[in-house]
Amino acid sequence: MHDTRSRFGWIIAASLLVACGCSSAHAFGSEIVVSIADQELALIKRGRTVERYPISTSKFGNGDGVGTYRTPLGVLYVSGKVGDGLPPGTVIKSRVPTGEVIAPNSPGRDPIVARVLWLRGKEEQNRNARERCIYIHGTAEERRIGRRASYGCIRMRSKDVIALYRQVHIGTRVVISEKRLAEFLPPEEVTLLARHY
């Protein structure tokens, strides 16, 4: 009897997660944390950091106003993925691969490349994110990674966004914060986890 109730409870919980738009990835504890202070992104699974990457957020600051080119703060989630199987450096325009592949730091070029994770806001402070086409995406301007240089999106190196893309799903929770990444990590990780990039 206890076994049947446990299974029934699990089915109800899973149904509620689907109904509220939560993904299985978040249900099992996967999330992305973006630190604007550190210009770094962490992929966290079951409470442990599994990857950390340097990033670039907006050079215009933080916010969600339409036409501001700022990076929204708060809790969002991955609402779309573009780029399955594309080679690094493949140009993506309006979420469609153009077929062109460019090298990192190509002079005079600043397109979206490699992969796109399209974000949707879950809070009032970031409700315009999807309409504004706020992405986590690859950038051709890899030399600017590590400092604020984007037009609102979270930029990554091609190789890094490809690696991240493989590990996240539609519905994966994304937290964008002005806080340092250390404030989101367990104390032992802050002490022991070395940056790998």
For residue 180, give the CATH number of its domain.
2.40.440.10
Inter-residue contact 24 to 169 (CB < 8 Å): yes
Overall number of domains in the chain: 1
DSSP string, 75-105: EEEEEEEE-TTPPTTEEEETTEEEEEE--TT
The 10s digit of each residue's pLDDT in 129-144 is 999 999 999 999 999 9
Domain containing 132 equals 23-192
pTM: 0.81
Three-state DSSP at 105 gives coil
pLDDT tens profile 8-44: 333 333 333 333 344 334 445 689 999 999 999 999 9
16 lies in some domain: no
Give me the pLDDT at residue 21, please: 41
Identify any residues that bridge with 44 across adjacent strands, giving them in sequence order. Answer: 31, 49
Residue 114 lies in a domain: yes
